[in-house]
Amino acid sequence: MREETTAADRLIAFSDAVFAVIVTVMVLELKAPDDPSFSALWPLWPTAVSYAVSFVFIAIIWINHHHLMRFARSPTLAFMWTNFVHLFLVSLLPFATAWVARTRLSSSPVVLYAGLFVCIDIAYNIFEHQVLALASAAQISPSVRRMARLRSLAVLAGFAVAMLVALFSPRLGFCMICGALILHLRPDVSGGR
């Protein structure tokens, strides 16, 4: 039992460190203007908006990850690899965020950004499924499992539609990404703790 707890704790600590590095890399992309006036900040609005959305997304991912990991006391090898794939996809977020910001929410970057959200959410759905499979019915009721699954699929669909919309209307697609994120503001699994 102690070995299983240690393995889960190490996985949690590693994941937390990766999230911290991702946020650090993302914030390093923020560049202050050379002009000392407030008007110099206005042209940076795409950077501010894309950074804020990406930061909120990472916060949502970390919070949901944290809540799910409470139920993963015996991580399997497949579970650990799924976690690594999920973290890898999240690590691409600073690149996509910078491209969206530099191109002022142009179509191709927003499509890539939404597509990355789709990929991250697919990995998250697999991760969530594996965690829920490890948890007992006493820890997570069937109705909570069903609600978590439905919400995850709704968010995935929202990101996929946003990606398609961004082909024709990148700003609307970006707004749809933000709307889909709202569904994940609260952790999927409340559990008994």
Helix ranges (DSSP H) in the chain:
2-28, 45-69, 77-91, 93-102, 107-134, 142-166, 170-182
Residue 190 lies in a domain: no
Q: What pLDDT does residue 5 have?
A: 64
Residue 36 lies in a domain: no
Global confidence as pTM: 0.89
Cβ distance 166 to 107 under 8 Å? yes
Q: What pLDDT does residue 69 have?
A: 86
Q: What pLDDT does residue 8 have?
A: 83
Residue 154 lies in a domain: yes
pLDDT tens for 150-180 read: 888 999 999 999 999 999 999 999 999 999 9
Q: Which two tokens stand for residue 181?
A: 């994120």
Distance CA 65, CA 168 (A): 33
Q: Which two tokens stand for residue 161?
A: 């539609």
Domain that holds residue 89: 2-30+45-182
Q: How many structural domains are present in the chain? A: 1
Q: Which two tokens stand for residue 71?
A: 């139920």
Residue 132 lies in a domain: yes
Please choose, from the candidates 81, 60, 63, 58, the residue with its C-alpha nearest in 3D space to the C-alpha of residue 11. Answer: 81
Q: How confident is the model at residue 193 (pLDDT cuts 50, 70, 90)?
A: very low
Supply the DSSP symbol for 43.
G
Residue 192 lies in a domain: no
Residue 84 lies in a domain: yes
Mean pLDDT of 62-70: 87
Q: What pLDDT does residue 145 have?
A: 82
Supply the DSSP symbol for 44.
G
Distance CA 173, CA 190 (A): 30
Residue 37 lies in a domain: no
Residue 127 lies in a domain: yes
Mean pLDDT of 72-83: 86
Q: How confident is the model at residue 192 (pLDDT cuts 50, 70, 90)?
A: very low
Phi and psi (nearest 5°) for 71? -100, 0
Q: Which two tokens stand for residue 136?
A: 């007992």
Q: Nearest-5° angle of CA 16, CA 11, CA 140?
A: 95
Cβ distance 118 to 160 under 8 Å? yes
Distance CA 188, CA 156 (A): 14
pLDDT tens for 113-148 read: 999 999 999 999 998 888 888 777 677 888 888 888
